[in-house]
Amino acid sequence: MPSILILYYSRTGNTEKMAQAVAAGARTVQRVEVELTYHVEPENLSSFDAILVGVPTYHHDMTVDIKSLFEEAAEKRISLKGKIGAAFGSYGWSGEAPRLVLEIMQNKFEMRIIDPPLLVKYTLDSAGLERCRVLGRTVAERLMM
């Protein structure tokens, strides 16, 4: 069964709500396994067919645990080539983090990324919620093709 990892970091809960909505969207597609978590070991990344990362922007950057995960995966030469990658996150005014994640996915790991990243300013409203659900569903449907 195809599997999707939805990995997120969230300090004040905004990106967490996005991640939950992305997972809900992905779970509308049958026969796709969806794991929603805030922690994964780099060695386990390769067991998923799609990796969606939720990361808020703090100080114009991605958060350190997401950055460390990718650094460690690169050091350990974990292969993610050809897997689907997507990024989303809450932000306040500049919102760089999801774009930075996509660049690593594409340039370092040769993943097939979904561009552009999904950004929501601060808290999730109903339009943002729907965009998150659509992202999850789109990735899940793509895995079934």
Ligand X SMILES: Cc1cc2nc3c(=O)[nH]c(=O)nc-3n(C[C@H](O)[C@H](O)[C@H](O)COP(=O)(O)O)c2cc1C
Which residues lie near ligand X (CB under 6 A)? 10-15, 56-60, 90-95, 122
- CA gap 95, 57 in Å, rounded: 5
- CA gap 87, 98 in Å, rounded: 5
Q: Residue 49 or residue 57: which is nearer to ligand X going by CB?
A: 57
Query: Smallest gap, in angstroms, from Cβ of residue 55 to ligand X?
Result: 8
- CA gap 5, 45 in Å, rounded: 8
Q: Residue 32 or residue 135: which is nearer to ligand X going by CB?
A: 135
Cα dihedral angle (56, 43, 45, 38), rounded to 10 degrees? Answer: -40
Query: Smallest gap, in angstroms, from Cβ of residue 90 to ligand X?
Result: 4
Q: Residue 58 or residue 106: which is nearer to ligand X going by CB?
A: 58
Name the percent of the chain in helix, strand, coil, to the closest 5: 45, 20, 35
Query: Smallest gap, in angstroms, from Cβ of residue 13 to ligand X?
Result: 5
Query: Smallest gap, in angstroms, from Cβ of residue 2 to ligand X?
Result: 27
Query: Smallest gap, in angstroms, from Cβ of residue 58 to ligand X?
Result: 4
Q: Residue 14 or residue 20: which is nearer to ligand X going by CB?
A: 14
Residues 6+ apart with CB under 8 A from 5: 35, 37, 40, 45, 48, 50, 51, 52
> What residues does 8 pair with on adjacent strands?
54
Q: Residue 56 or residue 85: which is nearer to ligand X going by CB?
A: 56
